[in-house]
A and B are shown apart, each in its own frame.
Chain A
Amino acid sequence: MNFVPHTQADIQEMLKAIGVSSVEDLFKDISPGLRAKSFNLPQGLSELEVVEYCRNLSSLNSSGLKNFLGAGFYQHFIPAAVDELAGRSEFYTAYTPYQPESSQGWLQSIYEYQTAICELTGLDVANASLYDGGTAIFEAAMMALRITGRNKIILDSGVNFIYRSMLYSYTANLNIEFVETQVVHGQSCREEVYKYLDDKTAAIILQNPNFFGAVDDHTDIVEKAHSFGCLVIESVYPISLGMLKTPAEMGVDIAVGEGQSLGLPLSFGGPYLGFMCVKKDFVRKMPGRIVGATLDKEGKRGFVLTLQAREQHIRREKATSNICSNQALCALRAVIYLSLIGKEGLKELAELNYQKSEFAKELLAKIPKVEVKRSSPTFNEFTIVLPKRVDHVIKKMTAKGFIAGFPLGKYYKGMDNYLLVTVTEIKSKDNIVDFAKALEEVLVA
């Protein structure tokens, strides 16, 4: 029981072989003074009881609400084959492929994942993944500091506020100078970025589409940055890359992002997937695991973890990062998802997101006193201004079965009436019409 297979006879036989009379004898190194002072835990339950208890807890959550909330974390359609394949225990009960001969399945799938991420972003080399989109930005920033030997970073305030606050937490004890630049008419403010850009700047960190949903072309910023020897890091939304200009096409040096939308459920915040893709000159400065192809003794292709001399288990305090794992199972979901969606499917998917969101904009603009912000183009997320405080509206919308969106005023001064609305492919025309109707009712009431 408790997944321990030993019978009493097994235990006695093993103790005899070891030469002790009781299991307790094996714990003699822990002196009485160091023994647990308390271990006040509940008694164990059966599988039936645990599952029912958890099912009851799960029913207390809101899975039935129609979700127009994104803010960097999106509900997309997940084909059933993703769960089925990533749910194979030959994948999920293995560990990091330290021994390539017994891990070719994992190694090949990560190589395929790296290829898919390179195709999405257009850049040369992807690693085997990082924890999430936020830690990926931090790792990219550290990488830029290492490459340039500089210590100043320009951070566009269009980068998700959650990621900006994570970046500040991580760097609180490091000697880094941050400058945060404004968003004007939805897009990065060139004037301000250029004002701060100098030959001490290691990197500019941008996001596309940015937190307000606005789409931008950062080519001009990248050119200017490079003229100062400064790198550009861009956080991207992978589904949007079915349509939008790639980081590579803008000349970006390091692309990162949250890969949750590639076949991972929202799952109350994790596990998610941080991806990173860089120009090939920077590969040795990259954090995290990397898989490469090579040959075996007979000349047959095989895959191995490579460039390991960058990593903590070899370089210890001089490693490019302290990261030990990758989000392998999440990366596997992503590559299965991208294979299923496929080359044509990704373009179609991006188009669905764009068109449905444009349709929603049009309907919402017809509601009296509602303003849809149109100063810059958007992909599947946009900002509207309501005649009332947004938090009250959100509360009333949940009563009507909708999560209305993200209240920008919570994190941006003077935006108490601003709501960030997301429309992905999972919303039918009827869902969007119902949403607009419900919002009008709430605003009129």
Chain B
Amino acid sequence: MEEVREGLFYTKEHEWVKIEDNFATFGITDHAQHALGDVTFVELPKAGAELAQGKMFATIESVKAASDVFAPLSGIVVKVNSDLVNKPESINKSPYGEAWFVAVEIKNEAEKKNLMDAAAYKDYLGGLK
């Protein structure tokens, strides 16, 4: 079954966000990794990059698909998961853990209202089927 983890926030494009104080960590959901299949390549932004909500900030490739990843919130990248670039398959194994993409310093708190909580995301996934 596709896992939706409690305590995280979600987007319609299947990214997740973990918010701690003024910082947010981004990744893609279990649903997204299932849809992509074996992930083979990830391209991440550099630390210091400025991300804008809803705009592409990373790309992922699997054997037969390529997908853009959109920033769930605006902010400045403070940490990049460089291990992910060398081990893209961890996105399939541990989408909510090991396979986080970047951490950002949140720029605009108000944007949080555009995100779904776990319950809302579950409903949203239900509606897609």
Which B residue's beta carbon lies closest to that of A284? B41
A314 touching B41, Cβ below 8 Å: no
Does A309 reach chain B (CB closer than 8 Å)? yes
Size band of the interface chain A makes with B: under 10
Which B residue's beta carbon lies closest to that of A316? B66
Which residues of B have CB within 8 Å of A429?
Answer: none
Quick one: CB contact mask for B35-79 with A, threshold 8 Å, 1 for yes?
000001100000000000000000001111110000000000000
B64 touching A308, Cβ below 8 Å: yes
Inter-chain CA distance A314–B36, complex, in Å, is 12
Does A315 reach chain B (CB closer than 8 Å)? yes
Within 8 A of B (CB), among A313-336: 314-315, 318
Which residues of B have CB within 8 Å of A318?
Answer: 66
Interface of B, helix, strand, loop or mixed by DSSP = strand
Which residues of B have CB within 8 Å of A314?
Answer: 64-66
Which residues of A have CB within 8 Å of B63?
Answer: 308-309
Which residues of B have CB within 8 Å of A308?
Answer: 63-64
Inter-chain CA distance A318–B64, complex, in Å, is 15
In the complex, which of the residues B63, B65, B66 has the most CB atoms of chain A within 10 Å of its own CB atom?
A: B66
Within 8 A of B (CB), among A283-333: 284, 308-310, 314-315, 318
A315 touching B41, Cβ below 8 Å: no
| Chain B contacts to A: CB under 8 angstroms | 40-41, 61-66
| Chain A contacts to B: CB under 8 angstroms | 284, 308-310, 314-315, 318
If A309-B62, A309-B63 are given as contacts, then 12 extra A-B residue pairs at C-beta distance below 8 Å, sorted by A number, are A284-B41, A308-B63, A308-B64, A309-B40, A309-B41, A309-B64, A309-B65, A310-B66, A314-B64, A314-B65, A314-B66, A318-B66
Question: Can you pick out 17 interface pairs between chain A and chain B where the beta carbons lie within 8 Å of each other?
Answer: A284-B41, A308-B63, A308-B64, A309-B40, A309-B41, A309-B61, A309-B62, A309-B63, A309-B64, A309-B65, A309-B66, A310-B66, A314-B64, A314-B65, A314-B66, A315-B66, A318-B66
